[in-house]
Structure 1
Amino acid sequence: MNELLSVTSVKKVYQSKLSGVSVEALKSINLGIDQGEYVAIMGESGSGKSTLLNLVATLDKPTAGTMYLNGMDLTSIPEKHAAAFRRDHLGFVFQDFNLLDTFSTKDNILLPLVLSQYKVKEMERKLMPVAKALGIEGLLEKYPYELSGGQKQRVAVARAIITEPELLLADEPTGALDSKTSEQLLQIFQQLKQRGQTILMVTHSSIAASHADRVLFIKDGQVFHQLYRGQKENYQFLETITETMTALLSKEG
């Protein structure tokens, strides 16, 4: 397998402007994600998982260490080029959808292509296969306020993948969804993975994590444990994740 994302000895220290106190959000993160791999990151609030996602998303820069996406040095992208880099190479799915209410579903999905100055014919060519794959082709003329939470999240996924990103980043993607809708979204993620999409997902949910190929556990700014799915079914992997979480928490206690 080709390694798509390489994170080596990454550290992130925040300096409080008021007190001058330094907070070490990430101590020394090392991880690699292969092309086409689906990886979940778990950890308690304040463990550093969201900080790590922000660094990979080039929304912040590490204090030390190196980060490469497909051979590109993420730490050296100039601020003025960062937005274009994200648009061209990364896809984002958030907990709160981040859709524009004044845009139709179609326009929300096409927004990244419009910003990248694609021609109308090319945008139309890309739109329908993505909409059909996500079962939202009948919603293209509707507006976000007319959609359910699950439909909104499907639109958000369509917007994230229409640019054919090298890496799809998902931040608590099931956080605002009920259990049935969450399961539908996680099935979509597994289908995307089967088509070769690389996914990095931050989640509190063991159920969400059980759909991934591998689960990384972060604690106190470090990767301290990981689990591989191997040949396990989702329910079997969920059992392993739950047992691991219980063991880690009891060990901590």
Structure 2
Amino acid sequence: MPILELKNVAKTYHTRFNANAVQALTDISLSVEAGEYVAIMGESGSGKSTLLNLIAALDKPTAGSIDLNGTELSTIPESRAAKFRREHLGFVFQDFNLLDTFNVKDNILLPLVLSKTPVPAMEKRVLALAPQLGLADKLTKFPYELSGGQQQRVAAARALITDPALLLADEPTGALDSHTADELLTLFGKLNQAGQTILMVTHSAVAASHAQRVLFIRDGRLFHQLYRGDLSQDELLVKISDTMTAMLAKQTPTQAGKTASADAAHTGKEAD
């Protein structure tokens, strides 16, 4: 049974006085199974951030339904939305969003503090989680004393401390250099292998190639999806790049593949 299911989701934004309507999403239907690692890709303005906000219960769809762990998100009152997010979702953002006046341990524990979790339970969780993310010796340090990669690990620990049903990552490697980004993505892979369900929005084909499945959005609609299957990361990366090329050229994925083969024949080289 899917942990997340969207059915015919649409989102329309209206300008002042409802003079104009902007259709951000149209007829989006998808599901995510427990334990999956899914990446969402699309150009700026494609609707992927809007989609993430809807899944995060930060906004409500104009039409359709979004079910997370048996709860229809549009039925959650605004007064309970923050509590629902803390209990069911974990968030990792591009900009870390750590509190500089809190040390690493306190930053990680913040969601549990807000949930009024007993102190002994908080201590037990953070001491078990910190070593998994390489933070056992960083708990008393402050964010400004850490590298970007270490700060993102703290953000990941904060997202995971509540044992969320779904980890949402919004451009998690956007502020990191390539080496540090690879370390974070390797960590995500290990978390997923341990059973954590992950949904990641990214512009990076390299980041998306770490996922099990990649969804592509163009002009507010699902354009295509790729499954890793038996593909290596490099092989999936090639397919992701071909699909992104197809989106930019407004072709179907099949047409893009034919174009790549024709180009290869013209240059006398094999298509990658």
- Specify if TM > 0.5: yes
Question: Which position in structure 1 is the counterpart of 2:263?
Answer: none
Tell me how far 1:18 sits from its aligned partner.
Answer: 6.0
Whole-angstrom distance in 2 between the partners of 1:43 and 1:166: 25
Is 1:250 the equivalent of 2:249?
yes
Return closer, same or farther for 1:14/1:250 CA change in 2, 3 Å cut-off. Answer: closer
Q: Report how many residues are paired.
A: 252
C-alpha distance after superposition, 1:16-61 (max 9, x if no partner): 1167211110011110000000000000000000000000000000
Whole-angstrom distance in 2 between the partners of 1:15 and 1:153: 35
Do 2:8 and 2:65's aligned partners in 1 also have CA atoms closer than 8 Å? yes
Question: Which position in structure 1 is the counterpart of 2:86?
Answer: 87
Where do 4+ consecutive residues of structure 1 move more than 6 Å? none
C-alpha distance after superposition, 1:112-142 (max 9, x if no partner): 0011111111001100221100001111001
Question: Which amino acid in 2 is paired with 1:157?
Answer: A
Question: Which position in structure 2 is the counterpart of 1:220?
Answer: 219
Question: Which amino acid in 1 is paired with 2:121?
Answer: E
Higher RCO (C-alpha under 8 Å, 6+ residues apart): 1
SS in 1 for 2:16: coil
> Which stretch of the first structure deviates more once superposed, 157-166 or 122-131?
122-131
> What are structure 1's unaligned runs of at least 5 residues?
none
Question: Which position in structure 2 is the counterpart of 1:27?
Answer: 26
Question: Which amino acid in 2 is paired with 1:141?
Answer: T
Question: Which position in structure 1 is the counterpart of 2:39?
Answer: 40
Alignment RMSD = 1.2
Identity among equivalent pairs (%): 62
Tell me how far 1:164 sits from its aligned partner.
Answer: 0.3
Larger radius of gyration: 2
Do 2:173 and 2:207's aligned partners in 1 also have CA atoms closer than 8 Å? yes
Question: Which position in structure 2 is the counterpart of 1:181?
Answer: 180
Question: What is the TM-score normalised by the length of structure 2?
Answer: 0.90
Question: Which position in structure 2 is the counterpart of 1:3?
Answer: 2
Return closer, same or farther for 1:56/1:193 CA change in 2, 3 Å cut-off. Answer: same
> What are structure 2's unaligned runs of at least 5 residues?
257-272
SS in 1 for 2:61: coil
Write out aligned runs for 1:118-137 (5 A).
118-137=117-136
Question: Which position in structure 2 is the counterpart of 1:169?
Answer: 168
